[in-house]
Structure 1
Amino acid sequence: MSDLDLGVIGNCAVAALVDRDARVVWYCLPRFDGDPVFHALLGAPKDAPDDGVFAIELEDHVHSEQHYIENTAVLVTELHGRQGSLRITDFAPRFVWRDRLFYPQALVRRLTPISGSPRIKIRLRPRFEYGSVAPARTYGSHHIRYVGPQTTMRLTTDATIDFIRDETFFNLSAPLDLFLGPDETLQLGVKETADRLEERTLVYWRTWTHRLATPFEWQDAVIRAAITLKLCTYEPTGAIVAALTTSIPESPGTQRNWDYRFCWLRDAYFVVRALNRLAAVRKMENYFRWLMNIVASLHENDIQPVYGIGLENKLIEREIPDLPGYRGMGPVRVGNQAYEHLQYDNYGNVILGVAQMFLDRRLLSPPNRADFQHLEALGRRALKFYDQPDAGMWEYRTRASVHTTSSLMCWAAADRLARIALHIGETQRASEWRASADRIREVILERSWSKKRQAFVDSFEGEYLDAGVLLMTEVDFIDPRDPRMVSTVKQLEKVLGRGPHMMRYEAADDFGAPGTAFNTCSFWRIDALARMGRVEEAREYFSELLKLRNRLGMMSEDVDTKSGEMWGNYPQTYSLVGIVNCAVRLSRPWEAII
């Protein structure tokens, strides 16, 4: 049985998930949204139940230990058995080489005996086309090629090829290296290659982490969240995926199985904002480049809520018959129908995601007035649609309403455009956008407030509670101590609160009432409480949520409020953003300590 106690290794081009026993159970090529050549996380075809994995198996295995090398994305697993123990060091190379970033589609696995006489078996069984095609294999003296319809992988190693081919147990009497990458010959020996790649990759991550402006408290949690958020960014284009997986159910047996390996404008805004708070502004610049390509292609079309990481605008959703799904809970879905939705909050998400670009003096590639004019075109769409029905941020598939959160983000679009215009000296435009923002704000305050519920509700003239309205304080729409907001938070806690957790919404959706808590909503609540002055409660809830992380500091999308078990796609950027934002909000200042 699989679970989500998984390590993440990657280099901002590819990423792999490694379980506690050092099995690579998820790895897609040629990029995050590609073919999962290792797919054991979602099972395997009936005729090949042991395929889709890259495993290092220890004979007489007793237990394992796992950790990251501090401040890096290099993962270390120790397997302990009755006869001996070994260490497996896993990473994807990433570093600056010849004045540019080097991030190949490759994984490096380094095996080192640490005690006794460990006997191991290397089980390398990729498959292609979502598990439907077994590779052809060819062999050399120090390599094995795995040939698929569109991809060929090459394992280069100083291990005995016969032992890997036949999956034979053998004595690990000396260190071994495994380089799994493109079908290319290494220029140096595999050990020398692995030595250099590991050294430079460690330097890269330690240097990147060194630049982070971390809060005093919860530094380990923040650093691990920040590194993982970076691993969910796709360097070649600047896109940011919501998660690295597809089809991990939001709760057991519900068919709430979605493909999250794409760039949601909403999620990306929150990631950029969180990394900005840690002074990792380069991600904002890369994302701006990706986003402005989207904006330039719109013309008069509505903006989509989600795009492919290579700017693809069609993410046709289909089901995969050959994989049974996480714990057998299919279906496995590829693509996401949400690209067809109307979700008007995204006009605000785009502008919020790049607003800092116009004000930050540190940037290497600052935006210009033409970029501002492109954003104004989006702002005019927000003015047109702020009071129109859409699918909303929760992506309802069968009904539409005038969702409060969508209108809220349309207000944010106008508000931020007013701020940007004022900053760049467009005073007339600033006045016009400010007037538009004020008009939308009055409509929202009037039509989303329910006297019956004494709260801001999910939609205009609506009756149901929705944790999304907590974003009113996040985007500075309303004073968090305003009596209406205070009352809203109390009502949300009463109806949607589950201890430190927060459910998404009160009304049933297309699949019934949600059965798990959405981690992001729980973090939104903590942020709102802190802004309202309920700091000690916020700190207590935050401490409880941090206990839900797995051993390596990761979180998925959802959690069972009774058992604490993680559900939903993994690692979830929304959840990791919550860790960063709440730690920054709640931490005691450095000055108070030193």
Structure 2
Amino acid sequence: MSKAIEDYGFIGNLRSCALVGRDGSIDWLCLPRFDSDACFAALLGTGEHGRWLLAPAGEVRATSRRYLPGTPILETTFETAEGKASVTDFMPLGGGVDPDGRTGEVVRLVKGLEGRVEMTLELVLRFGYGRTVPWVRRRDYGLRAVAGPDAVEFVTPVRLRGEDMKTRADFAVETGESVPFTLSYHPSIDEPRFVDDREVLLQRTAGWWREWSERCTLPDPAPEPWREAVRRSLITLKAMSFEPTGGLVAAPTASLPEQLGGSRNWDYRYCWIRDATVTLYALVNSGYFEEAGAFRNWLLRAAAGDPGQMQIMYGLGGERRLTEVELPWLPGYAGSRPVRIGNGAHGQRQLDVFGELMDALHLARRSHLGPYKAAWRLQGVLLDQLGELWREPDEGIWEVRGGRRHFTYSKMMCWVAFDRGIKAVESFGLEGPVEDWKRSRDEIRADILARGYDAERNTLVQSYGSKALDASLLLAAEVGFLAADDRRYRGTVEAIERELLHEGFVRRYRTDEAEDGLSGEEGTFLVCSFWLADAYVLLGRLDDAIALFDRLLAVRNDLGLLAEEYDPKAGRQLGNFPQAFSHVGLVNTAHNLLRARGPARQRANHGALPQSSDASVQTEATEVEQD
């Protein structure tokens, strides 16, 4: 039986991650990258598909867990009739943190806290997403496992034994004792490297994370629960970033379902262009300019080339071929099939990404994130491409598989693309065919208000000719397309409240009303609820915004983590976990509530609303010589 998604904790090293269950079992681990094949895939199957259990051998009376403050280092405490013991799980960082540059290790430290606790270990290594049983050999330090190009070294002082194609051990810890375990990945053609002192590595890793998390800025007065929620979300987002390139995975998991037992199961271990603007706002407003700059540079590299070939998502290094396949040997989380890896949506046309990328690069310019010349060159060719392309149908923000339509949000983001190009010329003294762009912007706006607005119901609609609503339309004021006091925007928010609110949370759209080419239903989409809270802020409904934000904070698990979706009736998180979009939404909504000019107002003021002057902003024309 599958564990609840919210029962998992998350650890990572800026290259990959692991999910650790409350019971002490690591059920998901991909090495050496987020998008590598899993060597532990019990998350999508059973223990036979790979896991690493480390827990008391007997009955557990109580379990508690926490992150070490300011870190993604997980500490789980087990209480038995005989005593207490803790398991500390972390992934050491490479690069400047570790002088040896380790990048593929999981360290687990078992410590005796009270009395004597009998512990058990079960290690089931299954490469290739649970399909490949490795060749295993004993070593004086533990064991080595090899399968094709992959190898791991398992290092421990505990005596191991093999049973039924698994590695097992039994041992005990008494008060003050500590027993270390390390699983280290390396290509099978390379020689392994070993950790000398796991405690030193723990302190080094914890110190780096604490220094990083203490740089977080949040306006005062911020309630401590909000401050801690924002800090935890930012730590999670940082741990989901791929340090070598600056990319950010949408989630570190694949095929966790949007409906238990359903077929809406997707691989999110890639980087979406759509996440760009909101992620940059979250990072910049929280004081993390280095991370914002790295992500902005990833965007430039990934989108480089023929703008007609721009994709909606890319691999961690900017890879374009993300072929979707099904893994029939995995039964799926809670029987949710098919299990998919890769993502076929990478080949879809989604016109909103033009606006998202233009908006992100506009924000980067205002935040002094260079290089400047390359960005403006890219923006110019994007707008050239969009001049006619905006008239075409697409698959939309939600990546529907039921055919292309004229989605209102996609058209709105095409408007944003031209608007931000115009703003760049007007605010930074750049060169471009601004009169042509203004004509395109005006034409798109007129088209949307004529075909994407239902005057009888006073609301924007999901697609031209449709009566269906869509939560993405909540962003109409935030991106500056409509002013917050425009009756059409207020009507859209009220319509979404009436038709898409479900038990206090927002659905993306109604699956029984909007054909998306997929069977089954889904939970409420958490980032959409954050968007509604942001809309409340723009409308001046602060009490409603605070109430919704607090309700969303209560959905997080005990470690402060959010998945993609939430089933309010069952009280269960759904979808891939943890989800970057959800945590970015949390950070931005907190800033919106705490600042008169939070991300929602900042973004709106770059659009249709009047833009305040900023004498401190240099024109790009005077800076490009430095590129």
User: In which range does the TM-score fall when normalised by the shorter chain?
Assistant: over 0.9
Conserved 8 A contact 1:304-1:341: yes
Matched position secondary structure for 1:130: helix
Give the C-alpha shift of residue 407 in structure 1. 0.8
User: 2:344 pairs with 337, 350, 369, which one?
Assistant: 337
Residue 222 of structure 1 pairs with residue 222 of structure 2: no
Residues of 1 paired with 2:167 and 2:183: CA distance? 18
Residues of 2 paired with 1:583 and 1:101: CA distance? 38
Matched position secondary structure for 1:475: coil
For residues 232-251 of structure 1, the aligned pairs below 5 Å read 232-251=240-259
Task: Classify 1:430/1:157 alpha carbon distance in 2 versus 1 (closer, same or farther; 3 Å).
Answer: farther
1:31 maps to a residue whose letter is R
Of residues 396-405 and 278-287 in structure 1, the stretch that sits farther from structure 2 once superposed is: 278-287
User: 2:582 pairs with 561, 575, 583, which one?
Assistant: 575
Task: Classify 1:130/1:433 alpha carbon distance in 2 versus 1 (closer, same or farther; 3 Å).
Answer: same
Residue 484 of structure 1 pairs with residue 488 of structure 2: yes
1:408 maps to a residue whose letter is M
Residues of 2 paired with 1:253 and 1:108: CA distance? 33
User: 1:315 pairs with 306, 311, 322, which one?
Assistant: 322
User: Residues 57-108 of structure 1, C-alpha deviation per residue, up to 9 Å, x if partnerless?
Assistant: 2022222111001111111111111222211111111266389894611111
Task: Classify 1:101/1:521 alpha carbon distance in 2 versus 1 (closer, same or farther; 3 Å).
Answer: farther
Q: Could you say which residue in structure 2 is the equivalent of 1:36? A: 38
Residue 417 of structure 1 pairs with residue 421 of structure 2: yes
For residues 242-321 of structure 1, the aligned pairs below 5 Å read 242-297=250-305, 299=306, 301-321=308-328
Give the C-alpha shift of residue 439 in structure 1. 3.4
Q: Could you say which residue in structure 1 is the equivalent of 2:609? A: none
1:43 maps to a residue whose letter is G
Q: Could you say which residue in structure 1 is the equivalent of 2:159? A: 160
User: Residues 445-469 of structure 1, C-alpha deviation per residue, up to 9 Å, x if partnerless?
Assistant: 3321111321011123332111111
Residues of 1 paired with 2:35 and 2:238: CA distance? 16
Q: What are structure 1's unaligned runs of at least 5 residues?
A: none
Give the C-alpha shift of residue 382 in structure 1. 2.5
1:53 maps to a residue whose letter is R
When normalised by structure 1's length, the TM-score is: 0.93
Conserved 8 A contact 2:94-2:103: no
Q: Could you say which residue in structure 2 is the equivalent of 1:53? A: 51
Give the C-alpha shift of residue 419 in structure 1. 2.1
2:354 maps to a residue whose letter is Y
Matched position secondary structure for 1:247: coil
1:573 maps to a residue whose letter is A
For residues 346-365 of structure 1, the aligned pairs below 5 Å read 346-361=353-368, 363=369
Of residues 137-146 and 528-537 in structure 1, the stretch that sits farther from structure 2 once superposed is: 137-146
User: 2:527 pairs with 499, 517, 520, which one?
Assistant: 520
Q: What are structure 2's unaligned runs of at least 5 residues?
A: 598-627
Conserved 8 A contact 1:502-1:518: yes
When normalised by structure 2's length, the TM-score is: 0.88
Conserved 8 A contact 1:67-1:77: yes
For residues 510-549 of structure 1, the aligned pairs below 5 Å read 510-512=517-519, 514-549=521-556
User: Residues 456-503 of structure 1, C-alpha deviation per residue, up to 9 Å, x if partnerless?
Assistant: 111233321111111112212211121111111111111111242111
Task: Classify 1:29/1:95 alpha carbon distance in 2 versus 1 (closer, same or farther; 3 Å).
Answer: closer
Residues of 2 paired with 1:417 and 1:102: CA distance? 42
Matched position secondary structure for 1:121: strand
Task: Classify 1:270/1:513 alpha carbon distance in 2 versus 1 (closer, same or farther; 3 Å).
Answer: farther
- Identical pairs, percent: 34
Residues of 1 paired with 2:307 and 2:555: CA distance? 44
Residues of 2 paired with 1:37 and 1:340: CA distance? 28
For residues 446-485 of structure 1, the aligned pairs below 5 Å read 446-485=450-489
Task: Classify 1:166/1:41 alpha carbon distance in 2 versus 1 (closer, same or farther; 3 Å).
Answer: closer
Of residues 529-538 and 412-421 in structure 1, the stretch that sits farther from structure 2 once superposed is: 412-421
Give the C-alpha shift of residue 7 in structure 1. 0.9
Matched position secondary structure for 1:314: coil
Of residues 171-180 and 506-515 in structure 1, the stretch that sits farther from structure 2 once superposed is: 506-515
Of residues 506-515 and 160-169 in structure 1, the stretch that sits farther from structure 2 once superposed is: 160-169
Task: Classify 1:454/1:100 alpha carbon distance in 2 versus 1 (closer, same or farther; 3 Å).
Answer: farther
1:35 maps to a residue whose letter is D
Residues of 2 paired with 1:522 and 1:566: CA distance? 14
Residues of 1 paired with 2:194 and 2:347: CA distance? 47
Conserved 8 A contact 2:56-2:118: yes
1:59 maps to a residue whose letter is A
Residues of 1 paired with 2:587 and 2:398: CA distance? 22
Q: Could you say which residue in structure 2 is the equivalent of 1:368? A: 372
Conserved 8 A contact 2:260-2:334: no
Residues of 2 paired with 1:99 and 1:403: CA distance? 48
Residues of 1 paired with 2:424 and 2:398: CA distance? 29
Q: How many residues align?
A: 579
- Please report the RMSD computed on the Cα atoms of aligned residues, expressed in angstroms: 2.2
Matched position secondary structure for 2:251: coil
Matched position secondary structure for 2:310: coil
Task: Classify 1:84/1:50 alpha carbon distance in 2 versus 1 (closer, same or farther; 3 Å).
Answer: farther
Conserved 8 A contact 1:7-1:19: yes
Q: Could you say which residue in structure 1 is the equivalent of 2:21? A: 19
Q: Could you say which residue in structure 2 is the equivalent of 1:180? A: 183
Residues of 2 paired with 1:486 and 1:513: CA distance? 31
Residues of 2 paired with 1:144 and 1:334: CA distance? 30
